[in-house]
Structure 1
Amino acid sequence: MKLHDTVASVTQRITERSRPTRSAYLARLEVALQRPPGAQRLGCANVAHAFAALPGNDKLRVVTEKAPNIGIVTAFNDMLSAHAPFQHYPDLIKAEARKHGATAQVAGGVPAMCDGVTQGTAGMELSLFSRDVIAMATAVSLSHDVFAGALMLGVCDKIVPGLLIGALQFGHLPTVFVPAGPMTTGLSNNAKSKVREQAAQGLVGRAELLAAESAAYHSPGTCTFYGTANSNQMLLEAMGLHVPGTAFINPGADVRDELTREALRTVLGSADFKCPPIGRVVDERCIVNAMVALLATGGSTNHLIHWVAVARAAGIVIDWDDFSALSDVVPLLSRVYPNGSADVNQFQAAGGPGFIIRELLDGGFMHADVLTDRAGGLREYTGIPRAAEGGRLQWDTTAVSQDETVVRPVSSPFSASGGLKLLQGNLGRSVIKISAVPDDRHAIEAPCRVFDSQDALHQAFGADELNQDLICVVRWQGPQANGMPELHKLTPPLAVLQGKGYRVALVTDGRMSGASGKVPAAIHVSPEAAAGGPLARVRDGDIIRLDANAGLLQVLVSEAEWAAREVLPMPETLRAANGVGTGRELFASMRRNALTAEEGACSWL
């Protein structure tokens, strides 16, 4: 199938834009590839320290027999459901390595925080920058430089982008990502959301709300909605960095352990196929494939920040214009909550990533001629794994959707476009996800109410001050202001207002991850208010027009008045509060140095 013209042209302009930085990155990779293995290159004392804790036979293999040594970087902790299953993965991997004459070591651990735990609290202001901390921790783990390859054990929001950014600093290493899978289905996402809205209205109490939340989040594994964590897994499949089809296999499933062993076998390669260095796998075409997969599945808007940062780590420069151009032509092929009623287990049962990737390849929306971690290339990522005779893995192709309310072919998509729109105007640049927003809410013009925090909006909602057509502006929520927390706490009250028949929308320099659902939300507004961006000029009562159809985000004020308006500084009380407590003091330099959301909110460039 011929590659779609827009996909080809976006890839070409990314390649041209990235030529200097990508060339410099590849030059560094080539230098690293030319060096002898670490156990032969390092001094004797260095080698002795590196392998002192290995069992005798493993030490003999790696030092004397020059066997490949695989570094494991893990996000295991037993507090968070998504990462708890990783506890026993290293033992499986080490045992499998020995079977193949290799060794494996846990090179290091990275932190893994959960936005679900910290949502609406001060801890959430560490969340975005935890990605860069994880990247640094990954680099520290691999800095011992004695590895022939790496396995990355991580799943959730900032963890996978952080692991990927860190791994790309060691682009000469073959690297495979190893997920743990989603928890089984509990209380449906729709039912959970209904209880949240009831709680926001005071119709149910804490006991009822806690019971609903505990029924939804009930066991080891990733949350079952299609947020950032599960979008991560879809993107890694599309980039060819997983064992094919491993993303959404539940913890405890018969095939799960064998998929983990297969990850070790994949990174080792075989006699006729050598797993390529990750820095070569992640090229411009690979990044575009990830962007297309995100758009085709209605994935998390957080990746308009994270994958910009991932691309930069490989010397590749992408921006929101690229996402917008692709979104105009990439069809929406799945509806998974919050863009539908299904959860990721239903998505997997309907065909999952394999079905989506095959449809996108056959439709000319993805690059087929890319390197992946597997010999079969990206076509190998179009199947669903299962256990065959003798415990072997076998991949079955789903020829047709098993549920067209969840996944559809390119020939009959849910929408002809990806549902992501770039908004521009005198309020700056922003993005909106409209895949779940009713058509009659794609354009809203209304007076605004300006808030300096989530709590201030909640107080106004509780006092019945918002019962009208209204655009809520929540500012001072960008990377430099407070670390750009997700604002999921705003979804229930805004959904309640919309449910009452009011035309409401949100405009913010913070994040929503797509959890805005049916409420129109212009997010990631750049430049942010704390950097002197236009949101710092907005006043209560200004008429704002948010038009996803025309790509507009503007305040309807005369140019002269707008230019004359004072750019308000961030309130000192707010600035002081943002920097104190819950470890936020340690992130002050990251807030100071953060780039814009469109530049990946990177603190390391």
Structure 2
Amino acid sequence: MTNLHPKLAEITNRIIERSRPTREAYLERIRAQKQQGRVERDQLGCSNLAHGYAAMPKTIKIEMQKENVPNLGMITAYNDMVSAHQPFKDFPDWVKDEVAKHGATAQVAGGTPAMCDGITQGYEGMELSLFSRDVIAMSTAVGLSHQMFDGALFFGVCDKIVPGLVIGALSCGHIPAIFTPAGPMVSGIGNKEKARTRQLFAEGKVGRDALLESEMGSYHSPGTCTFYGTANSNQMMMEFMGLHLPAAAFFNPYTPMREALTRYAAAHMAQSVKNGTAKPIGEMLSEKSFINALIGLMATGGSTNHTMHLVAMARAAGVILNWDDFDEISAIVPLLIRVYPNGQADVNHFAAAGGLPFVIRELRNAGLLHDDVDTVVGHGMQAYTQEPFLLDGKLVWQDAVAESRDENILRTIDNPFSPDGGLRLMKGNIGRSVIKVSAMRPNSFEIEAPAIVFDDQRDVLAAFERGELDGKDFVCVVRYQGARANGMPELHKLTPPLAILQDRGQKVALVTDGRMSGASGKVPAAIHVSPEALMGGNIGRIRTGDMIRFNAHTGELNVLVNEREFKARSVPAPDLSRNAHGIGRELFAGFRSHASSAETGAMSFGGDFA
């Protein structure tokens, strides 16, 4: 690979210096937990160990009593409602069978919830979604708290699940970890056809039966949804961070390759723990590991949700990222893939065209990726430029294809879809926010128009149905959607009506302290506005009729009101009572009250968490 890009080196040094106190404190904590030269369970008393062994078969109990036999923990997000997590049902049996061949034992240490944003989108349950990440992190820590495990395998794929698992794993950062994915469902109907049916339904031109048939043709089998949203962005980041086996992300469930990769991961963990080469996850993941994930996010046009989740994961390891880092790295990393919503292809098409090994090789060769990092398979990112093949039943990794199999989906560094990564920082007197521009039309980057202010997404939809948004340019301001207000639900249901107005020739934009889906697309949307309205943010001072200047080229986000008058305005006290109860929302009141800003990860953890 060539020398590191000078701007990337500059950004990296700044992040390392900024993080030095918190990173050193984190490493000191996890090193104090490490059992030197002993299996983890040696510190437990006999009665404690008896409880830990009690449910195991007699033959396994005999092995677990041996001093040199490592015991691996499994944290699983299995359930059979979420398509991406249904395949995990078989993983524990595969792991137990495989590690027994390599002188180790394994136990399911615990389970975590795994909710589906696709099911809860637009409904009350979506207000639990963001904080389910923190519940997953805590559930992971509970499972590992028994101190029975010398390494851990993590089974999760979707939006909040992987960030939660990583945060939980880092809370027990003194033991090694490997993430074993389940893969995407096979391709269904085309994304263009699906989007067309959604828009026809929003316009009242087709009925619910046609919409349901279309949706079920898209989301139709076990595995991750095939568009490039938050779930598949998770899988990309796990590879860029070296937490997966190379190229493990995008093989379909229930295939010989998926089982082979899972068994290989289990065997590799058992062997590396036994021979002392497995690094604890908290030491393995450095500042550069998280920066590599950020680079991958930009090169692939990944989910805006990771402007929070990646920040939260990094902070769990004492690494401090902010949105300036995202903006500056986006400016130097070209966009190398086009997958829905940034194009028409899905992740299966992307993998077939060359996939993540191709992207990693291109970035690495251009000096746009850190190579001096540790991974679950060793040092450096060279291994991640290869993809696995099953030859005579044996896994073998070979170099990624030399040329893209489809340049409409995947391109080289010298012929990118865009010279930048398509994620930008928006800032001004309204606050700081992020915008994903990789799927936006060139004529939609700038708008100066009056605000129409809403305090609830349902009010936007009702106004659209009444025709009140027709025939005029406007900026839709949706406030009180932040983590403290109502758990920061995604506002994905706003995309179809605003897109319809855009297609009619109106100039529209969205400004909100809420989230959009990982599938956010062509409607210009300044999201995650920080501080949020309930924390006194200026988005709460905007009134209907105020002129807003929205410029995604320059990153300007200003309300054009006299500064003194604007500051003098009070932030109205909203009625959030209908967000406080029902579908479990009352149980999350403490999470909402302690939530940090979106730019610091929207985390509910207090104390000295970085």
Bin of the TM-score, shorter chain as denominator length: over 0.9
The one-letter amino acid of 2:130's match is L
Counterpart of 2:16 in structure 1 is 15
Deviation at 1:273, TM superposition (A): 6.9
The one-letter amino acid of 1:357's match is I
Do the aligned residues in 2 keep the contact of 1:432 with 1:521 (CA within 8 Å)?
yes
Deviation at 1:588, TM superposition (A): 0.1
In the aligned structure 2, how far is the partner of 1:99 from the partner of 1:272? 15
Counterpart of 1:429 in structure 2 is 432
Deviation at 1:269, TM superposition (A): 3.6
The one-letter amino acid of 1:177's match is F
Matches within 5 A, 1:461-480: 461-467=464-470, 468-480=472-484
Counterpart of 1:6 in structure 2 is 7
Do the aligned residues in 1 keep the contact of 2:95 with 2:263 (CA within 8 Å)?
yes
In the aligned structure 2, how far is the partner of 1:381 from the partner of 1:269? 20
The one-letter amino acid of 2:155's match is L
1:46 aligns with one of 48, 54, 61: 48
In the aligned structure 2, how far is the partner of 1:527 from the partner of 1:390? 54
Counterpart of 1:523 in structure 2 is 527
Counterpart of 1:153 in structure 2 is 155
Deviation at 1:514, TM superposition (A): 4.2
Counterpart of 1:408 in structure 2 is 411
Give aligned-pair identity as a percent: 57
Counterpart of 1:123 in structure 2 is 125
Deviation at 1:475, TM superposition (A): 0.7
In the aligned structure 2, how far is the partner of 1:150 from the partner of 1:44? 23
In the aligned structure 2, how far is the partner of 1:243 from the partner of 1:554? 45
1:483 aligns with one of 476, 479, 487: 487
Counterpart of 1:224 in structure 2 is 226
Q: Confirm or deny that 1:29 pairs with 2:30.
A: yes
Deviation at 1:394, TM superposition (A): 3.3
Do the aligned residues in 2 keep the contact of 1:536 with 1:569 (CA within 8 Å)?
no
Counterpart of 1:80 in structure 2 is 82
**Larger displacement relative to structure 2 (294-303 or 269-278):** 269-278
**Larger displacement relative to structure 2 (512-521 or 325-334):** 512-521
The one-letter amino acid of 1:168's match is L
The one-letter amino acid of 2:31's match is E
Deviation at 1:566, TM superposition (A): 2.0
In the aligned structure 2, how far is the partner of 1:365 from the partner of 1:42? 46
Do the aligned residues in 1 keep the contact of 2:158 with 2:224 (CA within 8 Å)?
yes
In the aligned structure 2, how far is the partner of 1:376 from the partner of 1:314? 19
In the aligned structure 1, how far is the partner of 2:348 from the partner of 2:551? 34
Q: Confirm or deny that 1:359 pairs with 2:356.
A: no
1:340 aligns with one of 324, 339, 343: 343
SS in 1 for 2:453: strand
1:499 aligns with one of 494, 498, 503: 503
Do the aligned residues in 1 keep the contact of 2:229 with 2:518 (CA within 8 Å)?
yes
In the aligned structure 1, how far is the partner of 2:497 from the partner of 2:149? 51
Do the aligned residues in 1 keep the contact of 2:388 with 2:395 (CA within 8 Å)?
no
Pair 173,272 (structure 1): closer, same or farther in 2 beyond 3 Å: closer
Counterpart of 1:58 in structure 2 is 60
Do the aligned residues in 2 keep the contact of 1:388 with 1:394 (CA within 8 Å)?
no
SS in 1 for 2:397: strand
In the aligned structure 1, how far is the partner of 2:391 from the partner of 2:276? 23
SS in 2 for 1:421: strand
Counterpart of 1:439 in structure 2 is 442
Residues 581-604 of structure 1, C-alpha deviation per residue, up to 9 Å, x if partnerless? 000000000000000000000100
In the aligned structure 2, how far is the partner of 1:105 from the partner of 1:293? 33
Do the aligned residues in 1 keep the contact of 2:102 with 2:271 (CA within 8 Å)?
no
Residues 88-134 of structure 1, C-alpha deviation per residue, up to 9 Å, x if partnerless? 11000000010001000000000000000000000000000000000
Do the aligned residues in 2 keep the contact of 1:250 with 1:256 (CA within 8 Å)?
yes
Do the aligned residues in 2 keep the contact of 1:266 with 1:275 (CA within 8 Å)?
no
Counterpart of 2:302 in structure 1 is 299
Do the aligned residues in 1 keep the contact of 2:134 with 2:603 (CA within 8 Å)?
yes
Counterpart of 2:195 in structure 1 is 193
The one-letter amino acid of 1:557's match is V
In the aligned structure 2, how far is the partner of 1:296 from the partner of 1:273? 35
The one-letter amino acid of 1:408's match is R
The one-letter amino acid of 1:322's match is D
Q: Aligned Cα RMSD in Å?
A: 1.2
SS in 2 for 1:101: coil
Q: Confirm or deny that 1:389 pairs with 2:392.
A: yes
1:538 aligns with one of 513, 537, 542: 542
Residues 279-313 of structure 1, C-alpha deviation per residue, up to 9 Å, x if partnerless? 11211000000000001000000000001000010
Do the aligned residues in 2 keep the contact of 1:243 with 1:266 (CA within 8 Å)?
no
Deviation at 1:272, TM superposition (A): 6.8
The one-letter amino acid of 1:360's match is L
Deviation at 1:392, TM superposition (A): 3.2
Could you tell me the TM-score, scaled by structure 2's length? 0.97
Pair 166,458 (structure 1): closer, same or farther in 2 beyond 3 Å: same
Residues 499-545 of structure 1, C-alpha deviation per residue, up to 9 Å, x if partnerless? 11111110000001343311100000000011111111111111111
SS in 2 for 1:392: strand
Residues 382-425 of structure 1, C-alpha deviation per residue, up to 9 Å, x if partnerless? 12212112333333421111111111111111111111110110
In the aligned structure 1, how far is the partner of 2:67 from the partner of 2:580? 53
**Count of aligned pairs between the two proteins:** 602
Residues 213-272 of structure 1, C-alpha deviation per residue, up to 9 Å, x if partnerless? 110000000000000000000000000000111100001222110100011122224487
In the aligned structure 2, how far is the partner of 1:229 from the partner of 1:585? 27
Counterpart of 2:134 in structure 1 is 132
SS in 1 for 2:375: coil
Which 5+ residue runs of structure 1 have no aligned equivalent? none
Q: Confirm or deny that 1:509 pairs with 2:513.
A: yes
Counterpart of 2:258 in structure 1 is 256
Counterpart of 2:238 in structure 1 is 236
SS in 2 for 1:255: helix
Deviation at 1:188, TM superposition (A): 1.5
Residues 16-63 of structure 1, C-alpha deviation per residue, up to 9 Å, x if partnerless? 111111001111121122454233211000011011111122111121
Do the aligned residues in 2 keep the contact of 1:233 with 1:247 (CA within 8 Å)?
yes
Q: Confirm or deny that 1:556 pairs with 2:560.
A: yes
**Larger displacement relative to structure 2 (467-476 or 291-300):** 467-476
Q: Confirm or deny that 1:417 pairs with 2:439.
A: no
